[in-house]
Amino acid sequence: MGHPVGRESSPAAQPDLPPGQRLQRGWPVTHYGPVPRFRPERWEFRVFGATADGDKRCWNHEEFSELPYSTVVADLHCVTKFSMLGAEWGGVPARTLLDLAPPAPNVTHVMVWAEYGFSSNLRLADFTSERTIFATHKDGEPLTAEHGFPLRLIVPGLYAWKGPKWVRGVEYMTADRRGFWEERGYHNIGNPWREQRYSYQEEPGDGPEL
Ligand SMILES: Nc1nc2c(c(=O)[nH]1)N[C@H]1C(S)=C(S)[C@@H](COP(=O)(O)O)O[C@H]1N2
Ligand SMILES: [Mo]
C-alpha cells in the first residue's frame, strides 16, 4: 500500500534528464541501415563546400589519427527517449577542424556526412560549440563498430541523431538544408531541453520549408 515508488526518474531526482527522457542501462545501438565495414586504406575525412580559400581539405586515417586529441564529458539523448549520461568522449574537437579548414565568412550551417550518405545538418553555432567533438573513443576505449568506429560526431546540446556515426566529412553551407532525419520528420534543430523532436513542432525560422 501507500504511494507507489516508481523507478521512473522524476525531474527533481534527475536534473540532467531533458523532458520526456529516461535513463537506460548500458548503451543501446540505434541507427538506420547496416554497420559499415571500416577499410582504412579507403577511409578519408573531407571538409568541403564553402571553405575560406575555396579548396577542400582531406585527411586519410593515419593523418586524422595524428590530430590533437582531447576529451569532453557529454550526455547522449536519443529522440526515442533513452538517455545515457556522463560519457567521456575522446577525439578531435570540431573547433580544431575549423581552425585547420576555416569556413568562408558567409557560412551559416554545416552538413555532416557519414557512410552510406547518412547526413545531419547543424547550425554553424552548434558545430562550433567548444564541446562538439569528433569522437574516436568513449571512456578511454576505441568506439566499437556499431557505435561508429572509427569516427562519430557528438554534439552535446542536441539530440543524438545530430551526431552521425561513421562520419566521413563536413560540408560548409551558406544556407540551411535538411539532413537525413531532418527530411524524414525530425526537428531541424533538435534541442532536447526544448523537446524539439519532430518537424511539425518547428516554428518559423527553425528550418527550411519541408
Ligand atoms: N550514420 C548514422 N549515424 C547515426 C544514426 C544513423 O542512423 N546513422 N542514428 C543516430 C541516432 S538516432 C542515435 S540515437 C545515435 C545512437 O548512437 P549509439 O547507437 O551509439 O547509441 O546515433 C546517431 N547516429
Ligand atoms: Mo536516436
pLDDT for 1 beyond 80 = no
Number of CB atoms found within 10 A of residue 73's CB: 12
Predicted pLDDT at 132: 98
Query: Which domain, by its residues, includes 95?
Result: 66-201
Q: Is the CB of 168 under 6 A from ligand 1?
A: no
How deeply is 160 buried, as exposed, middle or buried, from its count of CB atoms within 10 A (0-12, 13-18, 19+)?
A: buried
Q: Is residue 32 part of a domain?
A: no
**Which tens digit of pLDDT belongs to each residue from 87-108?**
999 999 999 999 999 999 999 9
Q: Is the CB of 185 under 6 A from ligand 1?
A: no
CATH of the domain at 186: 3.90.420.10
Domain count of the chain?
1
Q: Is the CB of 159 under 6 A from ligand 1?
A: no
pLDDT for 9 beyond 80 = no
Q: Is residue 184 part of a domain?
A: yes
> How far are the Cα atoms of 65, 113, 121, 151 from residue 158, in angstroms, in the given order?
26, 17, 12, 18
Q: Can you tell me the distance from the alpha carbon of 177 to that of 93, in angstroms, rounded to the nearest whole number?
A: 23
Q: Is residue 158 part of a domain?
A: yes
Q: Is residue 139 part of a domain?
A: yes
Ligand nearest to the CA of 114: 1
Which strands sit side by side in the sheet containing 44-49, from one edge to the other? Answer: 57-60, 44-49, 167-173, 109-114, 119-123
Q: Is residue 189 part of a domain?
A: yes
Q: Is residue 170 part of a domain?
A: yes
Ligand 2 center to residue 5 CA distance, Å?
28
Bridge partners, 57 (sequence order): 47
**Which tens digit of pLDDT belongs to each residue from 115-159?**
999 999 999 999 999 999 999 999 999 999 999 999 999 999 999
Q: Report helix, strand or coil for 154.
A: strand
Q: Is residue 9 part of a domain?
A: no
Q: Is the CB of 29 under 6 A from ligand 1?
A: yes
pLDDT for 6 beyond 60 = no
Q: Which ligand 1 atom is the nearest neighbour of the CA of 78?
A: 14
**Which tens digit of pLDDT belongs to each residue from 29-76?**
999 999 999 999 999 999 999 999 999 999 999 999 999 999 999 999
Query: pLDDT exceeding 70 applies to what percent of the chain?
Result: 94
